[in-house]
Structure 1
Amino acid sequence: MRTNYVLIDYENVQPDTLSVLEKEHFKVIVFVGASQAKVNFDVAASLQRLGPNASYVKISGNGSNALDFHVAYYMGQLAASDPDAYFHIISKDTGFDPLIAHLRAKKILACRSRAVSDMPIVKAANSKSPSEKLAVVVSNLKQRGAAKPRTVKTLSSTISSLFQKALQEDELAALLKLMEKHGLVAISGTKVAYSLPE
């Protein structure tokens, strides 16, 4: 299973807990601002349970985007050493979105989520019903902008990866049929066209 790096902008988002990330395929880095003196106890306890899969980066200077530049630097370092990984930035700061778009254009898997619970991989793991799974897929496809899969094979592979390859073939086929039924995709031979909600 690919490594999922979770880079948390702690100046911007203070998660209640990180217990959903206590799995071996997650590596968590919490970026703490220079003027932040404390980290929430539940976050610290979750990070301790992650052991070597978790770390802090304390920013040494102040500035309007000091923490953001640190996140971008570490993400670049990690992408160079682990190009098959998936990168999750946890921040409400939309200033990261151009970086995410650039990374995707370079075929680096990345997204920004407003909270740990909003991460596509967490939503996918927590979705049980077909409609919940469909919502996760649609959200992921909308985030991709113009970089959506254009063939049935690539779309199937994308959905499978989103659910960490845990879907059975019949579940995957049912999701594609549900997407067609709701008019979200039109499949013509091997090609896919989209009609996603705004």
Structure 2
Amino acid sequence: MTKNSHYILIDYENVQVKSLALLKDAHFQVRVFLGPKNSKLATEFVLAMKALGERGDFIVLDAGGANALDFHIAYYLGKLAELDSSAAFYVISKDKGFDPLIAHLNKNGIACERAVAIDDMSCFGHLPKPAQTHTANKSVSKAPAAKKTVTKSEKKPATKMKADELVIKVVENLKKRSAGLPRSEKTLRSVIGNVCGSVYSEKEIEAVFNRLVKTGVVDNSRVRLEYTFANS
């Protein structure tokens, strides 16, 4: 299944992203917003942006001001959404001031969310956390076995989950959407596709959507989707 474009808009004044390693796939488009004070960037980050080619771009403010960068991000977010309404949009920022705008976009059929880091984006699901290194001397000999077990279980991104497991994963993601739940079927299907990943076909994504409706989690009998998580 060909994935829709994913636009990542990085508020660099707010979050100094260190790595773009997760954004190497062709459907990712990266826009980094820099304020007047962001004159020094890490060489590794600049090279990573250069490696993206036409998929990466810097937007530099000529002058600063209160919330100036936020307004620029909002402008480009709206402009990109108008040009490519089928895309998914991610604002990388700790600033909760974006949330009302993001909720409004979701209600109008544009898939959008805010994340405080790239690896927190819903399209990546739950990424494994780094292994803890502060173990006592007596337990060091047991550590390798535990790490091997974790590594084997985490290196199975291509293994497809069962339908019930997918539904649970999607519901968990929806519950965490403080910026607003998707209110159109189109947006919800896009969210499901992002959460489940590219290994699933459109037919499988549709099956998850239908399961959400059948189990009562989603009510699509009205103009705007309604949600009931008590039955999930």
The TM-score with structure 1 as length reference comes to: 0.76
Cα distance in 2 for residues equivalent to 1:174 and 1:54: 33
Cα distance in 1 for residues equivalent to 2:124 and 2:183: 21
The corresponding residue for 1:160 is: 193
* Contact 1:120-1:136 within 8 A present in 2 as well: no
Cα distance in 1 for residues equivalent to 2:217 and 2:95: 36
Match of 2:101 among 83, 99, 102: 99
**Secondary structure in 2 matching 1:2:** coil
Closer, same or farther: CA 189–89 of 1 in aligned 2, 3 Å: closer
Give the unaligned 5+ runs of structure 1.
180-184
Cα distance in 1 for residues equivalent to 2:189 and 2:83: 28
* Count of aligned positions: 190
Match of 2:173 among 114, 123, 139: 139
Cα distance in 2 for residues equivalent to 1:97 and 1:171: 26
What letter matches 2:92 in structure 1? I
Query: Where do 1:75-114 residues align within 5 Å?
Result: 75-114=77-116
Cα distance in 1 for residues equivalent to 2:191 and 2:38: 38
The corresponding residue for 2:60 is: 58
The TM-score with structure 2 as length reference comes to: 0.66
The corresponding residue for 2:42 is: 40
Cα distance in 1 for residues equivalent to 2:208 and 2:107: 30
What letter matches 1:142 in structure 2? K
**Secondary structure in 2 matching 1:24:** coil
Closer, same or farther: CA 132–17 of 1 in aligned 2, 3 Å: farther
* Contact 2:13-2:34 within 8 A present in 1 as well: yes
**Secondary structure in 1 matching 2:22:** helix
The corresponding residue for 2:229 is: 195
% identity of equivalent residues: 34
What letter matches 2:94 in structure 1? K
- The structural deviation recorded for 1:17 is 0.3
Cα distance in 1 for residues equivalent to 2:209 and 2:219: 17
**Secondary structure in 1 matching 2:64:** coil
Closer, same or farther: CA 54–171 of 1 in aligned 2, 3 Å: closer
Cα distance in 1 for residues equivalent to 2:78 and 2:204: 38
Give the unaligned 5+ runs of structure 2.
129-153
**Secondary structure in 2 matching 1:117:** helix
* Contact 1:123-1:136 within 8 A present in 2 as well: no
The corresponding residue for 2:20 is: 18
Answer 1 or 2: higher relative contact order, Cα 8 Å, separation at least 6.
2
* Contact 1:5-1:27 within 8 A present in 2 as well: yes
- The structural deviation recorded for 1:100 is 0.2
Larger Rg: 2
The corresponding residue for 1:117 is: 119
Cα distance in 1 for residues equivalent to 2:193 and 2:72: 32
